[in-house]
Structure 1
Amino acid sequence: MTHAFSQTAFSPAPQASQLPTMPTGWPIGSYATYAEAQRAVDHLAGKNFPVQDVTIVGVDPLLVERVAARLTWGKVLGSGALSGAWFGLFVGLLLSLFTPGAGLPAILIGLISGVGFGMAFAAASYAATRGRRGFVSHSQLVAGRYDVLCQPRNAESGRNLLAQLAMSRQSW
């Protein structure tokens, strides 16, 4: 006897809106920055354009990592102590609220424990890198340009409105 199993018998089928999809539409504008593309869509919205037909697409994506500072043992331990202190304070407050008669000692124990554990975990994590990552950085995904696409039914009017916006900016 054979059994036919469907995907829905074990897990729900993914919704179409949750799956990554390629953007559709015709290009009605192209901009060097996201802020410019956003301004263009704001302009369309201000003209009562059906902006639900519009998509901003970042083209030529780049991962940019900006180095913020050199990482030292002092910074690592200080950061670990600070984040551990917040967590310890939170746990201590919860203990003092839900344990009769705990009061201030529970808060102080939570705070001191949090600092200790935060420093220990930060030190272990930093030591595990063995100096391969001696800096702090922030990563950002940016694009080489940002295209504004529109569904074909409104693309021509959208392109005209954005052309008016471009001409009004040139007259400044």
Structure 2
Amino acid sequence: MVTTAVLIRSTYPAGESVQEFGSFREAERMAGRLSEAGFPVQRVRVVGTGLRAEPATARPDKTGPDKAGRHKTRAALLGAGLGAWLGMLTGLVLGLFIAGPAWLSVLLGGLLIGAFLGGLTGLLTHWAVDKRTDHAGTSVIRVQRFAVEVDPA
């Protein structure tokens, strides 16, 4: 993609800027006009300038006394669900080696033990990571202007 030149610009030779535009679409049109005029398109690139990063969007579990408990509960429930699946799978595999109706108790035992251990793991993981990641969202890089550059002949 043409706009990746911004991230690794030091790897490209310095080009001569033809014109700057407010949108990528306008810069693409200018590159198209250069191509239609017979200019070698391999020597044209569109470079984003004026980069700025937008901050994270929110702090989900620090905004109120009620919300912190919900996130811990959600982490524990997700862990319990995953643990239940893994426990049930383990119970099924072990149940292959047990004859009679006892395999059902092995399956149920695996499901319950897996749910308990998975919930505990989810809660402990949330507790350990919660101190470092107390925000939601990601930063987004925005480009203010797009310059059409050509390599010197």
TM-score of the pair, normalised by structure 2: 0.51
Residue correspondences, number? 128
User: Are residues 138 and 29 of structure 1, via their aligned partners in 2, closer, same or farther at CA, if it must alter by over 3 Å?
Assistant: same
Give the drift of 1:122.
Answer: 0.9
The answer for unaligned runs of 5 or more in structure 2 is 1-7, 62-66, 97-105
Letter in 2 for 1:101: G
Counterpart of 2:151, as a letter, is: Q
TM-fit CA distance, 1:120: 1.3
Q: Which residue of 2 aligns with 1:58?
A: 48
1:52-109: CA deviation from partner (whole Å, max 9, x where unpaired): 4443323232221142354241343145336535754675577478x35379555665
SS at match of 1:136: coil
8 A Cα contact 2:20 2:27, kept in partner? no
Instruction: Name the CA distance, whole Å, in 1 between partners of 2:73 and 2:13.
Output: 45
Instruction: Give RMSD over aligned pairs.
Output: 4.4
How big is each residue's C-alpha offset from its partner over 1:20-53, in whole Å with a ceiling of 9 and x where there is no partner?
6245322234233xxx315643785699676544
> 2:75 corresponds to which residue?
80
- 2:129 aligns with 125
Identity %, equivalent residues = 25
Q: Give secondary structure in 1 for the equivalent of 2:149.
A: strand
In structure 2, what residue type is equivalent to 1:64? E
**Deviation by residue 1:105-142 (Cα, 9 ceiling, x = unmatched):** 5566545433321221112222x35xxx7543421122
1:5-84 pair list within 5 angstroms: 21-22=11-12, 24-32=14-22, 36-37=23-24, 40-41=27-28, 44=31, 51-71=41-61, 72-81=67-76, 84=79
The answer to whether the 8 Å contact 1:30/1:37 transfers is no
Q: Which runs of 5+ in 1 are unaligned?
A: 1-17, 154-172
> Which segment drifts farther, 63-72 or 107-116?
107-116
Residue equivalent to 1:141: 141
Secondary structure of 2:123's aligned partner: helix
Q: Is the 8 A contact 1:76 1:123 kept in 2?
A: no
TM-score (norm 1): 0.47
Partners of 2:91 and 2:31 in 1: CA distance: 55
